Each structure stands twice: as C-alpha cells, then as structure tokens.
Amino acid sequence: MLNRWNAAIEKRMAFVTPACLVFGVLFPEIAGKGLPLVPVMFAVMTFIGALKSGFRDVGRVFQNPLPLLLAVLFLHVIMPAAAWGAGHLFFSDHPDLITGIVLEFTVPAAVVGVMWVSIYQGNQSMALSLVVLDTVLAPFVIPATLHVLVGTKVEMDPVEMMQELVFMIALPAVAAMCLNQLSGGRVRESWPLRLAFFSKLCLIFVVTANSSKVAPYIRHLTGERVAAALCILILAASGYLLGYGVAAVLGMDRENKVSVMYGAGMRNISAGAVIAAEYFPGEVLFPVMIGTLFQQVLAATLGTLLFSKGRESGRKNGTAAGRQKGVVRSES
C-alpha cells in the first residue's frame, strides 16, 4: 500500500508541489507552525536518500569527479555571474534587488536535492557528496562571491553552518551508510522502497512550511517585485536546463544527468534567507525568498518532463528482473 501511495505521489509531483506552495501562501498561520520541524524533516530525507549509498559509492564519486565539479561550477561561478548580469541589466537603479538576486544564486546546494535525485533515480552518492562539500565551502565561498560581484563584505559564522551540516546531512548520511555496511547491503535493497513514501511526506511538509515565509511578500507585490520574481524564475529554470544540457553534451549517463541538473538548479534558500535578514536591508530578502515559489515546482516539472519515461522504464526492467530472479530461485 505504501508503495502504491508513493508511486501515486511521484506521478503527480508537478501538481503536488504547487498545491503545497499555494496552501502555505494562503494559510501561513497554519503552515508556519511547522517551521521548527523543518531541519528534522531535512534530516529524515537525507537519511532515506543516503540509504542507497555506501562509503565505496562516495569514494567512486571522487575517483570520477567531473559531475561533481560541473555542479560546483554552475553553483558558484556560472549562475552567480548570470544573476549579476541580469540584475544590472534590469534593475540597475535598485542595488538592493541586485544584491538579493546575486545572493539567491550564491548560496550552497539544497539538501532536498538529494531527495529529488532519488525520485528520478540519479547518482545519489554524487548528490550527497555535493551537498556535504558545498555546505563546508559555503562560509568561505559566499562572502567571497558577494564581495567580488556586489562589493559587500559579509562575515559569516562557519561554526553555525557546520552545526546545520552535521545535523541535517552528516549524521543521517553516515548513519544510513553505516547501516548498509553492517547489513552487508541488505538495508540498501529493502529500506529505500519501504521508506520512500515517508520521504515524500517530509518534502510536502518542508515545502508547505517554508512557503509560509513568502506570504507577506506575495501580499505586498509591486511592479519591481514582480519583475524581480520573473527574473528569479528565468534564472532558476536556466540553472536546471543548463546543468542538464551540459551533462548531455559531455555524454554523461542518465544518473549523472539527473544529479548534475538538480545540483546546478537547487539552492539552500533557507540559508540565503538567514544571510539576507542578518546582513542586508529588507528589500534584499525578497528576491531570495521568492525563489521558494519556483524551486520545487521547477524540480518537479522538469523532472517529470525529462526523466519520467526513463524512470518508468527502469521500474519495469527492475520488476522484470525481480520476476526472473524469482523464477531462477524456484527452479533451483
């Protein structure tokens, strides 16, 4: 039954995600009550996503680091530069909006990206390695990028970001991989399928809770804010599509296409919101927070368009292989 519910949600992610956003925006008082539990939900998603990975898998990521390096290149060079160019092109008289747009595309890779990679059967070890590596680098990369592109000096607390990394990523990921190691791979074969439905519930919870923070900005839209939102939407979509396109041009397999696309496209917007609120005027926060409206919807829509066919084929092949394996066992 859980598998059927999980499959039903996966097929409708392009509709489920916008519905969560709408609920969070319309009923922020209700959705916002879940915000204190968001880090816990992230930790659960990381644990379930890491169940398909082992220490050797992570080691192989660094033996063939091209997909990982490509995602980092998009995250911290190509997209921040594109955001800076778009900001100066369309909002040259509004430095706070430019700063917010650049900050939106400077923050590290999103933890929830691991779950999207899992949904579309990408290289989960690469996605997990990217999130860990990028979060470790964030306290140094973000201030440097902001200083170079917008001339702003920001002193971040690396200890605080490392605490977030340990709780939401490191501990659950290491726990999952240790279970794989101790069970001789048996956990990898059975647990991910059993727990996939709960991972989707966590995603629904996170999207709904986080979208409540956007409600005040949606209720006070101006022409400039609408234009900034459209700019964020186009840039966000470009990150996904460029990541996928370059991976395809380089001849990467399907798993790495999925991982590079989500690695290049998904950002830790919560981290960006904290930085914007602490170091910048209020107007800087709008471009950062409005990205919440688009990130998950784009993840669901593009995943459905680009990878659903391959995912269904993989499931059918897996089912057929399972049946054949059962036949062999019965014959022996």
Kindly report, residue by residue over 138-166, the tens digit of the pLDDT: 888 888 888 899 887 666 666 766 677 67
Whether 242 maps to a domain, the answer reads yes
CATH of the domain at 190: 1.20.1530.20
Whether 72 maps to a domain, the answer reads yes
pLDDT of residue 329: 36
Whether 197 maps to a domain, the answer reads yes
Cβ atoms of residues 164 and 135 within 8 Å: yes
Whether 103 maps to a domain, the answer reads yes
Structure tokens at 304: 């459905």
Domain of residue 53, residue span:
36-305
Mean pLDDT of 74-99: 93
- Report the distance separating Cα 91 and Cα 116, nearest Å: 33
- Report the distance separating Cα 247 and Cα 259, nearest Å: 9
Whether 57 maps to a domain, the answer reads yes
Number of structural domains the chain divides into: 1
Whether 281 maps to a domain, the answer reads yes
Whether 179 maps to a domain, the answer reads yes
Burial tier of 92 (Cβ tally within 10 Å: 0-12, 13-18, 19+): exposed
- Centre a 10 Å sphere on the Cβ of residue 182 and count the other Cβ atoms it contains: 10
CA nearest neighbour of 169 among 248, 254, 271, 100: 271
Give the model's confidence band at 323: pLDDT under 50 very low, under 70 low, under 90 confident, else very high: very low
Amino acid, res. 151: G
pLDDT of residue 68: 95
- Report the distance separating Cα 236 and Cα 230, nearest Å: 10
CA nearest neighbour of 284 among 139, 104, 122, 108: 104
Kindly report, residue by residue over 194-241, the tens digit of the pLDDT: 898 998 899 899 888 888 888 887 888 888 889 999 999 999 999 999
Spatial neighbors of 37 by CB under 8 A, at least 6 apart, are: 205, 209
Whether 315 maps to a domain, the answer reads no
- Report the distance separating Cα 303 and Cα 305, nearest Å: 6
Residue 330, pLDDT above cutoff 80: no
